Amino acid sequence: MGLLEFKAFLKLNNEHADFLLPSWIDNNTSECCNWERVICNPTTGRVKKLFLNDITQQQNSWKTLVHYENVKFWLLNVSLFLPFEELHHLNLSANSFDGFIENEVILLYFTGFKGLSSLKKLEILDISGNEFDKSALKSLGTITSLKTLAICSMGLMDLFPFEAFYMSTLFL
C-alpha cells in the first residue's frame, strides 16, 4: 500500500520516524481511511486528500522556532504518490524537501514533479516552506489538472516560472 511505503520512506530519512504517523499501521484491522492526515472518498474508499505538511516536525511540535542551520533537508520520492489515482489535494508543505530522489526509474519517467502529472484529479498542491529550485518548479507545469498551487515561504517571488502555469489560484 502506498501510504505505508511513504511511512517507510520517512523511516529511511528520520531516526525518530517510529513516532511519526502512529495511526498508520500494517495490520488486518487498520483502515487507511481512518488514519490521521488522510481523507478518503466515502463512496470509493480511495484516498482523496493527503495532509503531509510538517511531517518531520510533528514530534517536536513544542518548538516554535527552528533554526535554519539545524534543518535537515531531504529528497522527495514523487513516485510514492502515484497509486493514489483519485488524489485531489496534496499538502507537502514545511517538510524541508530540497530536491528529488534520483534513481534510474524516476529519472526516466518522473523528473521533478512530472510524475504527479499522471494524477489526473490532482487540483490542489501545497509545497510551501520547502527548498525546491526553479528548475524543479518548472516541472509543475506538467500537472495540467492543478487549479491551486501554494509555494509560499520559498523565496521564489522573482524566480517563479509563471509562463508554465494555467491555474486559477497561485499562492506565493
pLDDT above 70 covers what percent of the chain? 70
Taking 90 as the threshold, does the pLDDT of residue 84 lie above it? yes
Where is pLDDT greater, at 168 or 96? 96
Average pLDDT over residues 126-135: 83
Where is pLDDT greater, at 73 or 43? 43
pLDDT digits (tens, 9 = 90+) for 43-68: 999 999 999 998 876 434 433 334 44
Q: Among candidates 78, 83, 102, 77, which has minimal Cα distance to 13? A: 77
* Res 73: pLDDT: 72
Q: Grid coordinates standing for 28?
A: 488486518
* Res 149: pLDDT: 87
Given pLDDT bands bounded at 50, 70 and 90, which one contains residue 157? low
* Res 67: pLDDT: 42
| Residue 31 DSSP symbol | -
Give the domain CATH number at 30. Answer: 3.80.10.10
Taking 60 as the threshold, does the pLDDT of residue 105 lie above it? no
Number of domains within the chain: 1
Most confident region among 85-89, 91-95, 159-163 by mean pLDDT: 85-89
Judge contact between 87 and 49, C-beta under 8 A: yes
Q: What is the reported pTM? A: 0.81
Cα–Cα distance, 48 to 85 (Å, whole number):
9
Q: Give Cβ neighbours of residue 162 (< 8 Å, ≥ 6 apart).
A: 170
Q: Could you tell me the residue range of the domain that residue 107 belongs to?
A: 2-171
A 10 A CB-CB count for 57 gives 15
* Res 169: pLDDT: 55
Cα–Cα distance, 107 to 22 (Å, whole number):
32
Q: Grid coordinates standing for 129?
A: 516552506
Most confident region among 82-86, 113-117, 153-157 by mean pLDDT: 82-86
* Res 121: pLDDT: 95
β-strand partners of 91 = 51, 126
* Alpha helices for the chain (secondary structure H): 2-13, 104-109, 134-138
